[in-house]
A and B are shown apart, each in its own frame.
Chain A
Amino acid sequence: MGNKIYINGIGIVSAQEEDLFSEGFASTYYENIFPVISPNYRDFIKPMALRRMSKAIKMGITSAKIALKEAEIEVPDAIITGTGEGCKQDTEKFLENMLDQNEKLLTPTSFIQSTHNTIGGQIALNLGCKNYNVTYTQNSVSLETALLDAQMQFDEDPFLNSILVGGVDEISEKITSFRKLDGQLKSVPIKNLDLLKEDSTGTITSEGAYFFALSNKRKENTYAEIQNVSIKNTIPPEKINEEIEAFLETNKLDPADIDTMILGMNGDNRYDYFYKNLQQKLFKNTTQLAYKHLVGDFDTASGYAIYLAGNILKSGKIPSILKLNDIESKAPKNILIYNQYLGRDHSLILLSAF
């Protein structure tokens, strides 16, 4: 990676309150599909625009505006969005209307807003931004793909100053429940905070929006520097340590330089061995953290890991509810985020203090 990329603003809407770092308090859920804690969207979106927005759009605009405000950017030079399943609520509404109305007299709103790029488009409309605007849909590496594009944009265009990058996914009644039919969710409801103690198949899911105001210029309140991002669709389980060593080598680091590892463990005993392999070998002396017991697993959930990494690097604090082991990391400098879903779509994000 050529130019430096700094995270200068973060905006999130998730199933957890934002006082995790100050209070250490975590919200508890007893369902395997749970919603976000909604902010007052009217504080961010005009009522006449808000009235026809589905949750993904509301969450996306709100988190985008929080990130931009923090970074003191009014209109970014690019908006790059990742979403695994897009605007599912409007997709369902449109399909239900088609069935109910026998494919006649269909209203336009839910159709117009059912496309995946509606979120990025609505953010642009809200900001009056006519710059580069692209949405990536790549299952559980959608957000990482958006980050890779941001990385390339910064490398290609020396005049770019700011890029808004984020990931958004919402739950919907029918399409989210397909994950249960497919065995991707636990068969009986569990307490979210017990997710990582479970020894069963499937996980828990939720929704969320995570936007990051990136810039090639550091500010006083910068969270972290994004060093590199890597995506691999397939990695044989026995090669995971090698793959990560090779990634670190390209960044002139070795495993001992990573003082905190954030793992995407989701309590699915069919695939968590990818993480356990790393916990027991390459990173056995590293502080290990997890987060999906807090916000569930969905295609862009790794945005929460970036939010955590940014705050850990900025504050030096690690909330105990994240810890998987007792190894202390007094002044975290390099944090590596590793994620995969169903044994596929492996991603690595390397962040550093500056």
Chain B
Amino acid sequence: MTNLHTELKESIIEQLNLEDMDPADISNDEPLFGDGLGLDSIDALELIVLLEKDYGIKLTDPAQGKEIFVSINQMAQFIEENRTK
């Protein structure tokens, strides 16, 4: 697990108020939405803001979120390829 994976998990826990969760409780390939972590559409909006604020990535098409927010692995890969800060 890279530093980015851990950093991402910590940000998600803080931003989405996932009380009583530690980064270790989220697996890298666990689905973030639906049956996995159980995030919902409001969380998706929070994640879009998180990408822009922390990594300078602006999603112009919100539908992209569906492909990016699949899992921590997927998010980390997208951030590494597109980050501007």
> Which residues does A use to contact B, with CB under 8 Å?
47-48, 50-52, 101, 105-109, 112
17 contacts between A and B (CB under 8 A): A47-B19, A48-B38, A51-B16, A51-B18, A51-B19, A52-B16, A52-B42, A101-B53, A105-B49, A105-B52, A105-B53, A107-B49, A108-B42, A108-B45, A108-B49, A109-B42, A109-B46
Q: Which of chain A's residues have a CB closer than 8 A to the CB of B16?
A: 51-52
Within 8 A of A (CB), among B11-56: 15-20, 38, 42, 45-46, 49, 52-53
- State the 6 A-B residue pairs at the shortest beta-carbon distance, nearest first: A51-B17, A108-B45, A105-B53, A107-B49, A48-B38, A107-B46
Residue of A nearest to B53 (CB): A105
Complex CA gap A76/B15 in Å reads 34
Q: Which of chain B's residues have a CB closer than 8 A to the CB of A112?
A: 42
Contact B49 A106 (CB under 8 A): yes
Interface residues contributed by chain B, number (CB under 8 Å): 13
> Which residues does B use to contact A, with CB under 8 Å?
15-20, 38, 42, 45-46, 49, 52-53
Residue of B nearest to A112 (CB): B42
A267 to chain B, nearest CB (A): 38
Contact A107 B19 (CB under 8 A): no
Contact A108 B19 (CB under 8 A): no
Given contacts A105-B49, A109-B42, A109-B46, contact A52 B17 (CB under 8 A): yes
Q: Which of chain A's residues have a CB closer than 8 A to the CB of B52?
A: 105
Complex CA gap A52/B46 in Å reads 12
A315 to chain B, nearest CB (A): 38
Contact B18 A107 (CB under 8 A): no
Knowing that A107-B46, A107-B49 touch, tell me 4 more A-B residue pairs with CB under 8 angstroms.
A51-B19, A105-B52, A105-B53, A109-B46
Complex CA gap A47/B19 in Å reads 8
B17 to chain A, nearest CB (A): 4
Complex CA gap A198/B31 in Å reads 60
Q: Which of chain B's residues have a CB closer than 8 A to the CB of A107?
A: 15, 45-46, 49
Q: Which of chain A's residues have a CB closer than 8 A to the CB of B45?
A: 107-108
Complex CA gap A40/B85 in Å reads 42
Complex CA gap A107/B52 in Å reads 11
Complex CA gap A88/B16 in Å reads 20
Complex CA gap A50/B18 in Å reads 10
B9 to chain A, nearest CB (A): 16
